[in-house]
Each structure stands twice: as structure tokens, then as C-alpha cells.
Amino acid sequence: MSAALFHPFVLGRLRLLNRIVMPPMTRARAANGGVPTAMMAEYYRQRASAGLIITEGTQVSRRGQGYAWIPGIHNPAQVEGWKQVTAAVHAEGGRIFAQLWHVGRLSHVSLQPNGASPVALSALTAQGVQVFIDPQGLGPAAGAGRKVQHSPPRALETSEIAGIVDEFAAAASHAMAAGFDGVELHAANGYLINQFIDSGTNRRSDRYGGSLANRLRFRDEVARAVAAVAGPECTGVRFSPLTTLQGAVDDTPESTYLAAARMLDEIGIAYLHIAEADWDDAPEMPMAFREALRLVYSGAMLYTGQYDRERAEAAVAAGWADLIGFGRPFIANPYLPRRLASDAVFNRGNPAGYFGGGAEGYIDYPTVDEVRSSVSS
């Protein structure tokens, strides 16, 4: 067994059981009003042997919602719902952060208050990007939702932006009240914070657009506001410098994200989470980029994207990663660290149950012992 991957790691003021992370994964099974359910608590409980769980993207406001059945963290019912999730994970000795997101333009009028247009920083529609909706209110158990092109957005007024920063700070406060160990800002995959950062999506001419410093301003304001509430040692940030998902493309990703990492180092956040290859097979991060991140950022580095045990161990041994996320393997394999440690047989995930649905494909994946007994009987 590797000395590092399976051994405890100190993150901020938390002691993690191991360096294996369950990264954020939208599963679209919240109850009406974006309220987390007992079934969601059971799903996360089954995966609490991760060193750290980061929840699915969780909207900071109703306008921040981009898909049907996504949990929120902006009202008391949602906070109460999350309390059962954090209690279940803590009862197993696990740690859990909430991923805070605002999807910006990647939404649909049927999900927005009063059927309004989604908000974006520039009125640009991402071509070919679909969101799933539930206009008839059938609920997640009905299946995968109806896929539609996201609605044309309207550009945010400069005067509206401070209000969104406040929504993130309020959401962080709610997350800590719900018992989370910390929060992760979703600044990746083409959602609102990422839309501000990348040159391909930011066409603003005010103080939030144009120069790199301006494009990083919103992310800086949100990170500072959230860290002031949750504590920098309880705050992480996720970037996806090289993925081109959902129209997020930057002309000079290395210099952009090194500057962003340097600013986060000043705030002293606990970790930087790099989303590598996802659905779109992003190019592998050049080693020089990984090493440069290490030089400018002194907190923990977490990498996610098509890792297996061998690659994860090599990354930690080489020193450019402290923590490794295993996404799809965690969906299909409760108690994943035990399987990784013992090279047990892995369940294969069923993508049909990834987004929306009931217990099937969610909390019914067999444990190692169940697999063994079915093989021997």
C-alpha cells in the first residue's frame, strides 16, 4: 500500500483520513425547492471514507440555478436539509465541503424567478450547450429531465455584481451553519466565476472586463468575501484552466491561472482544485504548469480528472499533488478508498442514472462485501 495516498493529510485545521477526495458531482436528486433529502444523506454517508467529500454544485441563489433538481443553500429549508447530510458524513468520521456555484448564463427561463432571462456578464449564448429542465414539475424520480438549449442571457449591470458577491458570502455562512467543514468556490467548467475569468466569455468594458486584473476581480471579490465568512483555512477554489467545457476558453490559460493562484495565495485559502480532463478530454496539464502552480501557491493542490490508483500515487510521490479526486469511480463505488487499497473489483457506473432519478444508480451500488458474496454464492 502506498505510504501517502491512504494516510492522513492535514488540510487547514482539518485532519483528513486520507488524500482521496470525492470531487463535486451534480446528481440532481433534490426535493422541490432545492432541498436536500434523506436519500442524499445516505449517498454521501456511503462515500464518507473519502478524506474529503466536496458536494455537488449548490446554487447560492435562485438565479444561480442551471438545471432541474439541484440543491440550493440560500434558505432555511435547504440549510435544514443539508444538516442531515453533514451529520451522516461526520458520524462516519468523514469531512465535507459544500461546492458553491452560480451558473450565470448556463440556465433556462423555466428555472429562473418569474421566468426571467439568466444573467451573464456579456449577452453571449454558449452554442450547443444544453441544460436539463422539468417544466411540468414531475420531480427527479421521473428520470433525466428534458434537455434544451440554455436561454439567451442578459448582461449584468455593474451595479448588480456586488449583490452576487453578497449571495456567495451568505451561502458560505449558511454552509457553515449547516455543519459543513468548509466551502469550495466553483470557478470552473464555464459557470459564472469562470465566465468572468476567461477571455472567450468576458466582453465587458467596465472594471470587470478587459485587462487580466479586471477579469480576475469578481473571483477575487467572491473569494475574499467567502473566506472572511468561512475562514480562509476552510475555503477552496476550483479552476479548469485547460478544459473547454461549456464555452469556457481563455487565450492564455497558463498566465491567467498562475495570476489567479497567486492572488488566492495572498488570501491563504486551504486548497486549489484543478479540474483536468472531464467529458471533453482536455489536454494533460504540462508539467511546467503544475510546477509553476506549486511555486506561486503554497496551500494544498488537489487534482481531479481520470485518475486511477497508479496515476494518483505517482502524482503524490512526484510532489505536484497533495490530494487526488476520483469522480466517476466514487459514483459507482461506495467505500472507494477500501477498494483502491485492496485492488478490489470496481463497479461500473451507469451514466443513465447520473443526473436525476431515484435510488437506482444512486445508493444501490454494491459494496465490496456484497460483490464478494455474490461471486462466491
Ligand X SMILES: Cc1cc2nc3c(=O)[nH]c(=O)nc-3n(C[C@H](O)[C@H](O)[C@H](O)COP(=O)(O)O)c2cc1C
Residues near ligand X (CB under 6 A): 23-26, 56-57, 99, 186, 188-189, 238, 275, 278, 304-307, 326-328, 354
Residue nearest to ligand X according to CB distances in the complex: 327
Q: How far apart are CA 162 and CA 156, in angstroms?
A: 11
Q: How far apart are CA 364 and CA 168, in angstroms?
A: 34
Q: Per the structure block, which three cell numbers stand in for 342?
A: 485492496
DSSP letter, residue 60: S
- Choose between 307 and 320: whose C-beta lies nearer to ligand X: 307
Say how many C-beta atoms besides its own lie within 10 A of residue 50's C-beta.
Answer: 28
DSSP letter, residue 72: B
Look at residues 286, 230, 222 and name the one whose alpha carbon lies nearest to residue 258.
286
Look at residues 243, 295, 246, 306 and name the one whose alpha carbon lies nearest to residue 272.
295
Give the shortest CB-159-to-ligand X separation in angstroms. Answer: 29
DSSP letter, residue 126: P
Say how many C-beta atoms besides its own lie within 10 A of residue 31's C-beta.
Answer: 18
Annotated catalytic residue 43: no
Three-state DSSP class for residue 281: coil
Backbone angles phi, psi at 266, to 5 degrees: -65, -35
**Catalytic-role residue among 43, 44, 191, 307:** 191
- CA end-to-end distance (rounded Å), the chain: 29
- Choose between 6 and 326: whose C-beta lies nearer to ligand X: 326
Backbone angles phi, psi at 300, to 5 degrees: -80, 145
Q: Are 145 and 133 in contact (CB under 8 A)?
A: yes
Q: How far apart are CA 215 and CA 225, in angstroms?
A: 17
Q: Are 120 and 66 in contact (CB under 8 A)?
A: no
At a CB cut-off of 8 Å and minimum separation 6, what does 174 contact?
Answer: 73, 74, 78, 79
Coarse DSSP helix, strand, coil percentages of the chain, rounded to the nearest 5 percent: 40, 15, 45
- Choose between 10 and 352: whose C-beta lies nearer to ligand X: 352
In the chain, the largest separation of any two C-alpha atoms, in whole Å, equals 68
Q: Number of helices (H) and strands (E) in the chain: give both, helices first.
A: 12, 14
Helix axes 217-230, 158-177, angle to 10 degrees: 30
Active site residues: 191
